[in-house]
Chain A
Amino acid sequence: MTENVLEMQGICKDFPGVRALHNVDFALRKGEIHALMGENGAGKSTLVKVMTGVYEKDAGRIVLEGKPIHMRSPQEAQNLGIGTVYQEVTLCPNLSVAENMYIGRGRYAFVQWKRMNAKAARLLNSLGIPARATQQLSSCSLAVQQMIAIARAIDMDCKILILDEPTSSLDEDEVRKLFALMRELKSRGVGIVFITHFLDQVYEISDRITVLRNGTLIGVYEAASLPPFELVSKMMGKALEDVEKIKKPEASAQEASEPVFEAARLSSAAGVRPFDFRIRKGEVNGFTGLLGSGRSESARAIYAADKVTGGETKMNGKKVKISAPIQAMKLGIGYLPEDRKGDGIIAELSVRDNIILATQVIKGFFKPLSRKQAEAFADEYIGRLNIKTASSSTPIKSLSGGNQQKVILARWLLTHPEYLILDEPTRGIDVGTKVEIQKLVLKLAEEGVSVTFISSEIEEMLRTCSRLIVMKDRQIVGELSGTNLTQADVMDAIARGGA
C-alpha cells in the first residue's frame, strides 16, 4: 500500500512575474485517493499541468514507478499512463460513446468499428457505467458523460488518474455514482488525484490531503487526522494563534439606518437556495465561503444576472421587481462581475466606451452622449482612479488586468450607484491596485454608498466589511458582525457550516 506510483520533488514553475510553484513535493501512492487542496491561485492547477505534461517544469524531478520521466506534451503523459479529466466535459457530444472513448487513439487511419464497440462495451461493463457503446454521448446524463471521460482516461493501462473538479456540475446522486467508480478504480490500484472545493466530498472519499498555498507546499496530512477547521485555516494561511482581532466600531451606528436593499427568499436558476438579504446605507457587507459555495451566485441573483426564480426584493423600503440587469441598474444597483474577461470588459472597445457603457444604457438608446461629454467622463475617471492607459481611445484589451478592473469600477462609479456589488474586484491584480480598490470601497461607504464585497482573500474581507454572510454548499449558513468578525470565527463558520 505504501508504494509510491508517482513522486514529484522540488518542482518549481515560474510565469513572467509570478512564481506559480516553489519547491513543491508531491507523492501519490498506489491505490489511494489523494485530495489536492488550496484556494484560488494556490498552484493546484499549475501542479496538475506539470503532472500531465501541459507545462514543463523549470526545476525538480518527476519519478513514475521508480523511473525519472520527462514529459513534453499531454500526449506523452497519457502514453505513460497519466490520465486527466477536467472540470468541463471535453468530449464530443454528437459522437457515440465508443467513438469518444477511442477516437484519436488508433494507430491506423481506418477504424475497426466492431472491435472498437466491443472493447468499449467491455470497459463500460467492467466499470459499471450505465451507457451503451453505440449510444450518442449527448443522450447520456452529465454524470455518465463525466464517467465516460474517466473511462477514456483510464483505458490504456492508466496508473494515475487526475480529476479536476469532477463534481462541480453534478447533483448529489450523480456524485455518489462517481464516487463508487472512484472506489472501484482505487481497488484496482489506480492512484487518484482529486481536486475539489467541496470539503465534505474531500472527507468522504480521500485518504490523504496535500495543501498548497501561494505556490508552496503547506503539508501532507492523513484525512482522518486533520479536522476540517484546521484544513480551512491551512488553506487560507492563518495559523490559529496569530489570527488578529479586528473590530468594526461603526457597525453598531449603522443599526439605526434603514436598509437600502432587501431581499426575501431570493433564488436563481444558478442553484442558490432561497436566501434573505439586506444592506443598509453606507454599509459594506460581504458573502464569504469557499469557491463554489454560492457566494457569487447570490450576488448574481440580487442583480438578476442569472434568471431569478423566486423571492421578493425591496429598494429603499419599496417593493421592486428585478428580473433583468437593466431593472437593477435603473434602481441604482451596480455589479462588477467575478469573471472580468468573460462578463466585464468589452475587449474590442475603447476604454472610453467601456467606461460610459452602463451610464449610456441607463440613459437610453435614443440619447447618446456627445463625443465631448463621453471624453470628459472618461478622462475624469481615468484621472480619479489613476487608470494607466495611453488615451481614452485605447482598446481596453491592451490594458493590464488591474487597469481593466479599474475601468469596470469607473463604469459603475459613473452611474452614481446607491448600491454596488463587487465580486472579486481584486482578483489577479497587483498588490498596489488591490489596496487602492479596498480604500475606494471604504471611501464609497463613507459617502453613503452601500457595497457588497466578495473576495477569496479573507483578510481583505475583514478589512473592508462590517458584516459577513457565510455560505456553504449554495446556502447561507451564518452571519458574523461586530466582535464576532475575526479570522478564526470566519474559518470556524466555513468549516463547521454555521456561526
Chain B
Amino acid sequence: MLLPLSVLALLIVVNLIKGADYFSISLINGALYGNIPNILFGASELVVLAIGMTLVTASSGGQDISVGVAAAITSAVFVRVLLNADHITWLTIVVGFLESAVVGIAIGAFNGSLISIFRVQPMVATLILFTAGRSISFMIDGKLSPVLANELTSRIGGVMPGVPIQTPIILTLAFIALIAAVLKTTNLKLYAEAVGTNEKAARLNGINPIKIKFLTYMILGFCAAVAGFIAVTKAGRHDSVNLLKYVEMDAILAVAIGGNALSGGKFSISGSIIGAYTIEVLSRTLLRLEVGTETIKAFKAVFIIVLMAVSSPVVREFAAKTLRRLRAEADPGQDSAASDPEIVAKKGA
C-alpha cells in the first residue's frame, strides 16, 4: 500500500510543478470537470478489471489475459440486445446488461474450468480466448462498429441530468461497494488466500480449491462485463478491434503496483484500485508533459521498470542495509560513546 500511494503522490507533485491549477475543478453543463474527475472517469474500466484480476491472481497464482477481449464480447452482446429492440428503454438496457453479464460469467467459467479442473496454466488457458475473442465479438456485432445513437446510453457513458458527477465514476464506486460487501459477507478473501498460498493445506482444511479458483474466474468474468458496459457506453459505438485493447496488461500491472504478489496468496483489493488509478494518472501526466501519443508507451515502460526495480526485494534489502549503516555512522553506538571518557570530555568542551 505504501508503494502505490507514494508513487501516486510523486506523480501529483510532478503535475503540480507543471501547473498549480492541477486540482482545479470546473462546472460545465451541470457536471464537474477537471483533472481529478477526468482521472476517475478514465480509470473506471481499469479499476473494475483490476479488482477481478486481483482475485484470480490470489487464488490461482496466475493472470487472465483475456479480460479485454471478454469485455469486447460481452459489450457486443449488450449492443446487439439494444439494436434488436424497437424502442430503447431503461428496461432494455438492464436486460442487455444482464445478458452480457451472463455471457461474461460463462467466459469466466470457461477459463476457470480449464485452469482449476484441467490445471492448464492461467496464461495459456486465457490465451485461447485472447486469440479468438475479438473475432467472436465481431461475429456478434454483425456489422462494423455499430453505433449506439440514443439518449439513455450516452447518459450512462456521460452524465445523468441533475447529477454533477459523471456516471462511469458512480458506477465504478458502486462496483467497489459491491465487492466490499461481498468480501464482508463471505469468506472469499480467506479461502482465496489460503488456496493461493498453500493449496494442499487448504484442501486438508475442508476448502475445495477447484471451486474457489472457479469462483474467482467467474467473478472476473462479471467484472469484464461491467467494464465492457462502461467502455461501450462511454464510446457510444462498439468497436470490436479497439475496445479496451491491451487493458489486460494494465490490469495485471495495477495488481502488481498494488503490492500484490503475482504468484498468488495474500492480496489487497484497495492496493490494486490505487494501482489502477496510478496507471491512469501516469498516462495523463505524460500527456501533460507533452510526450507524444505515439511515444507515450515507451515512457510508460521506463517508469514501470524503475517502479519494479525499486520495489524488488533486492533493492529493498540493499536500501535497508544502507539506511542502517548510515544511521550507525551518523550516530556512533551510544554505549561506546558513553564509555569512552575522551569523547564525553570533548563533547562537554
Contact = CB atoms under 8 A, between A and B. Distances in A.
Contact of A362 (B186, B191, B198, B206): B206
Give the residue among B185, B190, B194, B200 with the most A Cβ atoms within 10 A. B190
A484 interface: no
Nearest to B203: A325
B193 A343 contact: no
B185 A361 contact: no
B197 A349 contact: yes
A358 B187 CA distance: 12
User: What is the size category of the interface that chain B forms with chain A?
Assistant: 20 to 34
A348 B185 contact: no
Contact of A348 (B184, B186, B265): B265
A403 B52 CA distance: 35
B187 A360 contact: yes
B187 A368 contact: yes
Contacts of A330: 206
Given A342-B201, A343-B200, A368-B190, A358 B206 contact: yes
Given A368-B186, A368-B190, A348 B205 contact: no
B145 to A, nearest CB: 42
B185 A325 contact: no
Contact of B197 (A346, A360, A361): A346
A365 interface: yes
Contact of A349 (B186, B193, B200): B193
Contacts of A360: 187, 190
Most buried by B among A330, A345, A348: A348
A335 to B, nearest CB: 7
A337 B202 CA distance: 12
Contacts of A199: none
Interface residues of A, number: 29
B184 to A, nearest CB: 8
Contacts of B200: 342-343
A164 interface: no
A357 B204 contact: no
B125 to A, nearest CB: 20
Contacts of A365: 186-188, 191
A348 B197 contact: yes
Contacts of A303: 204
B134 interface: no
B206 A345 contact: no
B207 interface: yes
A344 interface: yes
A360 B188 CA distance: 11
Contacts, number: 76
Given A348-B266, A365-B191, A366-B185, A329 B197 contact: no
Contacts of B191: 361, 365
B208 interface: yes
B207 A335 contact: no
Interface string B196-221: 01101111111110000000000000
A346 B198 contact: yes
Interface string B154-193: 0000000000000000000000000000001111101101
Given A348-B265, A348-B266, A353-B190, A361 B201 contact: no
A348 B200 CA distance: 14
Contacts of B207: 326, 361
Contacts of B190: 349, 353, 357, 360, 368
A367 B193 CA distance: 17
A220 B187 CA distance: 57
A326 B198 contact: no
Nearest to A366: B186
A349 B204 contact: no
B201 A344 contact: yes
The winner among B186, B197, B204, B266 for most chain A CB atoms within 10 A is B204
A193 interface: no
Top 8 closest A-B pairs, CB basis? A326-B206, A361-B206, A348-B197, A348-B265, A348-B266, A329-B206, A346-B197, A368-B187
23 contacts: A324-B206, A325-B206, A329-B206, A337-B201, A337-B204, A342-B200, A343-B198, A343-B200, A343-B201, A344-B204, A345-B201, A347-B197, A348-B266, A357-B190, A357-B205, A360-B190, A361-B191, A364-B187, A365-B186, A366-B186, A367-B187, A368-B184, A368-B190
Given A326-B208, A365-B191, 20 more contacts: A324-B208, A325-B203, A325-B206, A326-B207, A329-B205, A335-B204, A337-B201, A337-B204, A343-B200, A345-B198, A345-B201, A348-B193, A353-B194, A357-B190, A357-B194, A358-B206, A360-B187, A361-B207, A368-B185, A368-B186
Interface of B: 184-188, 190-191, 193-194, 197-198, 200-208, 265-266
